[in-house]
Amino acid sequence: MGAMVVKEKLVHIQYFAILREARGKTEEDIQTTAATAQELYKELKNKFGFQIFQDSLRVCVNDEFCDWQTGLKEGDRIVFIPPVAGG
């Protein structure tokens, strides 16, 4: 059996509220080997020092709320939505 090849993919990420403030931008394209939304958030959290825990966020892939185990593919649009206080 051969070694499994992990392929990079380009995904588009939008940031809102506290994540936008932490990242300093509203959106960007990122190359990632993450297979799921959960893996991608862990990668971004480690890379950019996000302080918010995954269980406080909702995730959307291609404009639909989804599970953290949702698989990612080239060109996907991902949004991590933090809780927002209104007033």
Domains of the chain plus CATH, in order, are: 9-81 (3.10.20.30)
Distance, CA of 30 to CA of 69 (rounded, Å): 19
pLDDT tens digit string along 12-58? 999 999 999 999 999 999 999 999 999 999 999 999 999 999 999 99
- Partner residues linked to 14 by β-bridges: 27, 79
pTM of this structure: 0.87
